[in-house]
Structure 1
Amino acid sequence: MSYMDQLRQRERELGRPVRVGLVGAGQMGLGFVAQVTRIPGMEISAIADVVPERGHEAFKRSNRGQAITCGTPGERAAAVLRGEPVVVTDALDLVALPIDVIVDASGVPDVGASVAFFGLLAGKDIALLNVECDVTIGLLLSTVAQRMGRVYTVCRGDEPVECKRLVDYVRDIGFTVVCAGKGKNNPLDPTATPEALADQAKAKHMNPKMLASFVDGSKTMIEMVALANATDLQVSQRGMTGPHATVNDLPWAFRTEEDGGVLPAAGVVDYCTGPVAPGVFVIGHCDDPVVTAEMEYLMMGEGPYYAFYRPFHLASVEAPLTVAEAVLDRNPSLAPTVWNAEVVAVAKRDLRAGERIDGIGGSTVYGTAERAVVAADEQLVPLGLVSGAEVVRDVAAGTVLTAQDVRIDHNTMIATLRRLQDRLIAGQPIDLPAAGQTASLAA
Structure 2
Amino acid sequence: MSYRDRLQERLDQTGRPLRVGLVGAGQMGRGFAAQLLRMPGISLSAVFDVQRERAVDALGQAGITPSSAHDTETAAVAIENGESVALEGLDDLGLLPLDVVVEATGVPDVAVNVAIQALSAGINVATLTVEADVTVGRYLAKLAQESGAIYSVCRGDEPVETKILVDYARDLNFEVICAGKGKNNPLDRYANPETLAERAATKGMNPKMLTSFVDGSKAMIEMASLANTTGLGVSKRGMHGPPSTVPTLHETFALVEDGGLLDRPGVVDYCTGPVAPGVFVVIRTHDPYVHHEMTYLQMGDGPYFALYRPYHLASIEAPLTVYEMVLDKRASLTSEHWTAEVGAETKKALKAGERIDGIGGMTVRGLIDPAEDFAAANGVPLGVLAGAVLKHDVPVDHLLTYDDVELVESSAIVKMRRIQESMDKDTPVPTLDELRTLLAG
Same fold (TM over 0.5): yes
Which stretch has the larger CA shift, 420-429 or 182-191? 420-429
Q: Which residue of 1 is the match for residue 88 of structure 2?
A: 89
What pairs with 1:20-419 in structure 2 (closer than 5 Å)? 20-71=20-71, 73-419=72-418
CA–CA separation in structure 2 for the residues paired with 1:37 and 1:116: 23
Q: Which residue of 2 is the match for residue 9 of structure 1?
A: 9
CA–CA separation in structure 2 for the residues paired with 1:165 and 1:367: 25
Letter in 2 for 1:149: G
How big is the shift at 1:439? 2.3
CA–CA separation in structure 2 for the residues paired with 1:216 and 1:429: 38
TM-score (norm 2): 0.98
Letter in 2 for 1:327: V
CA–CA separation in structure 2 for the residues paired with 1:412 and 1:347: 22
Query: Per the alignment, do residues 435 and 38 of structure 1 end up closer, same or farther by CA in structure 2, a change over 3 Å counting?
Result: farther
Secondary structure of the residue aligned to 1:219 is: helix
Kindly indicate whether the alpha-carbon contact (under 8 Å) linking 2:94 and 2:120 is maintained by their aligned counterparts in 1.
no
Partner deviation per Cα, 1:85-119 (whole Å, 9 max, x = no partner): 11111234322211011111000000001111221
Secondary structure of the residue aligned to 1:70 is: coil
Letter in 2 for 1:307: A
Q: Which residue of 2 is the match for residue 425 of structure 1?
A: 424
How big is the shift at 1:434? 2.1
CA–CA separation in structure 1 for the residues paired with 2:408 and 2:391: 13
How big is the shift at 1:425? 3.5
RMSD between superposed Cα atoms in Å:
1.4
Kindly indicate whether the alpha-carbon contact (under 8 Å) linking 1:232 and 1:340 is maintained by their aligned counterparts in 2.
yes
Which stretch has the larger CA shift, 427-436 or 165-174? 427-436
Secondary structure of the residue aligned to 1:303 is: coil
How big is the shift at 1:441? 8.9
CA–CA separation in structure 2 for the residues paired with 1:435 and 1:329: 30
Q: Which residue of 2 is the match for residue 439 of structure 1?
A: 438
CA–CA separation in structure 2 for the residues paired with 1:353 and 1:304: 53
Partner deviation per Cα, 1:62-96 (whole Å, 9 max, x = no partner): 1111343413x211111111111111112343222
Kindly indicate whether the alpha-carbon contact (under 8 Å) linking 2:66 and 2:86 is maintained by their aligned counterparts in 1.
no
How big is the shift at 1:17? 1.2
CA–CA separation in structure 2 for the residues paired with 1:436 and 1:143: 12
Kindly indicate whether the alpha-carbon contact (under 8 Å) linking 1:280 and 1:309 is maintained by their aligned counterparts in 2.
yes
Structure 1 gap ranges (5+): none
Partner deviation per Cα, 1:357-376 (whole Å, 9 max, x = no partner): 00000000000100111111
TM-score (norm 1): 0.97
Query: Per the alignment, do residues 415 and 47 of structure 1 end up closer, same or farther by CA in structure 2, a change over 3 Å counting?
Result: same
CA–CA separation in structure 1 for the residues paired with 2:404 and 2:94: 36
Kindly indicate whether the alpha-carbon contact (under 8 Å) linking 2:93 and 2:117 is maintained by their aligned counterparts in 1.
no
Kindly indicate whether the alpha-carbon contact (under 8 Å) linking 1:416 and 1:441 is maintained by their aligned counterparts in 2.
no
Kindly indicate whether the alpha-carbon contact (under 8 Å) linking 1:32 and 1:316 is maintained by their aligned counterparts in 2.
yes
Secondary structure of the residue aligned to 1:91 is: coil
Kindly indicate whether the alpha-carbon contact (under 8 Å) linking 1:56 and 1:67 is maintained by their aligned counterparts in 2.
no
CA–CA separation in structure 2 for the residues paired with 1:436 and 1:382: 20
Identity score, percent: 53
CA–CA separation in structure 1 for the residues paired with 2:407 and 2:274: 39
Kindly indicate whether the alpha-carbon contact (under 8 Å) linking 2:161 and 2:279 is maintained by their aligned counterparts in 1.
yes
Kindly indicate whether the alpha-carbon contact (under 8 Å) linking 1:68 and 1:84 is maintained by their aligned counterparts in 2.
no
CA–CA separation in structure 1 for the residues paired with 2:70 and 2:170: 51
Count of residues in correspondence between the two structures:
441
How big is the shift at 1:435? 7.6
Letter in 1 for 2:123: K
Secondary structure of the residue aligned to 1:181 is: strand
Secondary structure of the residue aligned to 1:174 is: coil
Secondary structure of the residue aligned to 1:369 is: strand
Kindly indicate whether the alpha-carbon contact (under 8 Å) linking 1:95 and 1:115 is maintained by their aligned counterparts in 2.
no
